[in-house]
Structure 1
Amino acid sequence: MSEERFEVRREIAAQPAEIFALLCSPEGHVTIDSSGMLQSAEGEAVTAAGDEFVVHMDRESLNDFPMGRYDVTVIITAFEQDAHIEWTVTGVTEAPVEHRYGYRVEPSEIGTLVTSYYDWSQIAAPYREMGIFPLIPESGLRATLGILARTMEKK
C-alpha cells in the first residue's frame, strides 16, 4: 500500500454474490456507511462501469467542513460482476476530485474475503494542494466492513 491508498480486508460469512448485490445497490452504500455522511440514495442497482446513482450527503457528521447537506453522483469506474466494484463521486466541486473507493470480493473458507480500498493517488492538483486527503481514515473502512459483516451475517 502507498501513502495515498488504504486497503483493508475482512472475512464475512456470506456468499460473494450476496455481498456484491448489496455493494451494487445505492441503498446498500447507505446501509453500511460508517461515516454517517450518507443519508439516503436514489437510483437503480449498478451493473456496469459508467452507471451512476445519487447519494444525499450530510458532511456535518464528520464536523470537518461546514458543507451541510448536499448531493453527489456516484460514478462506477470499474465493474466485474461478483468480484470488483469501484467508483468516484462528482457534483460538489467544479472539477472532479478523482479519488476512488472500491471493493473486491472473493470466495473464502467461511464465505467471502472482502477487500475495501480508498485511493486518492489520482486527485487533481488543486485538491492535493489543499492537504485534506484522505477524507476518510483507514479506520472508517474497517468500520464499514464491520457493518457489512453485521448486515450480511444476520440475514
Structure 2
Amino acid sequence: MTTDRFDVRRRIAAAPDKIFAVLSAPSGHVAIDSSGMLQSAEGDPVRAAGEEFIVHMDRESLNDYPLGKYDVTVIITRFEQDALIEWTISGQVQPPMRHIYGYQLEPVPGGTLVTSYYDWSEIDERYREAGIFPVIPEAGLRATLGILARTVE
C-alpha cells in the first residue's frame, strides 16, 4: 500500500504561541530544517493565509535531484494563529508541484502536541512519474520535530 501523506506527532514542552512564533517566521523554518536544504530566508513573519516569503535552497544536501542552489516562494495556504500553519511552494520548477507542508498545534498538559504533515496527493502526474516524491521522508519530519523541540524547550 502506498500513501501520499505523512503525519508525525510529538509532545513538546512549550506553549503553542512559543512554537508558533518559530513556525511563522521565515528564519524559523531554516533553523529547524532537518534536511539541510533550507539555507536562509527573506521576509517577515507571516500572519495570514496568502502571505509569502522566500527561502534559499540547496538541493545538493539530498543528493537526489540535480537542482543545486535555487529559491522558492513559500505561500501560506492555511493559517490559524497558534494552532495551524500550512504552505506550498512555487519556484523554478513549473508548473508548481502542489505539495503541502503544515503544522497543527494542540495544547496539552505541560505543553503542546505538534503534528507535522507533508501531503503530495495533489502533485501533477509528470512529477509523480518522475519518482521524486516524497521529497522528504517521514524520518525527516520526525527529525525536524526534534529540532523544533530543542529550539523552544
TM-score by length of 2: 0.97
- Which amino acid in structure 1 is aligned with residue 93 of structure 2? T
The percentage of aligned residue pairs carrying the same residue is: 70
3-state SS in 2 of match to 1:64: coil
Partner residue in 2 for 1:18: 18
SS, match of residue 140 in structure 2 = helix
| Match in the other structure for 1:65 | 65
1:61 offset after TM fit, Å? Answer: 0.6
Alpha-carbon offset, residue 132 of structure 1: 1.4
2:139 counterpart letter in structure 1: S
1:118-154 alpha-carbon deviations (Å, 9 max, x no partner) = 000011121112121101000000000000000001x
Letter in structure 2 aligned against 1:51 = E
- Is 1:103 the counterpart of 2:103? The answer is yes
* Equivalence map 1:65-104=2 (5 Å): 65-104=65-104
Give the deviation of 1:92 after TM superposition. 2.1
Shift of 1:68: 1.1
Question: Is there any run of 5+ residues in structure 1 with no aligned partner, and where?
Answer: none
Task: Tell me the equivalent position of 2:47.
Answer: 47
The farther-off stretch of 57-66 and 135-144 is 57-66
Q: Following the alignment from structure 1 to structure 2, what is the Cα–Cα distance between the partners of residues 149 and 55?
A: 22
TM-score (norm 1): 0.96
Q: 1:36 is matched by which residue type in structure 2? A: G
1:72 alignment partner, SS class: strand
Which 4+ stretches in 1 moved above 4 angstroms? none
Alignment partners' CA distance in 2, 1:37 and 1:71: 11
Letter in 2 for 1:83: A
* CA–CA distance in structure 1, aligned partners of residues 106 and 64 of structure 2: 35
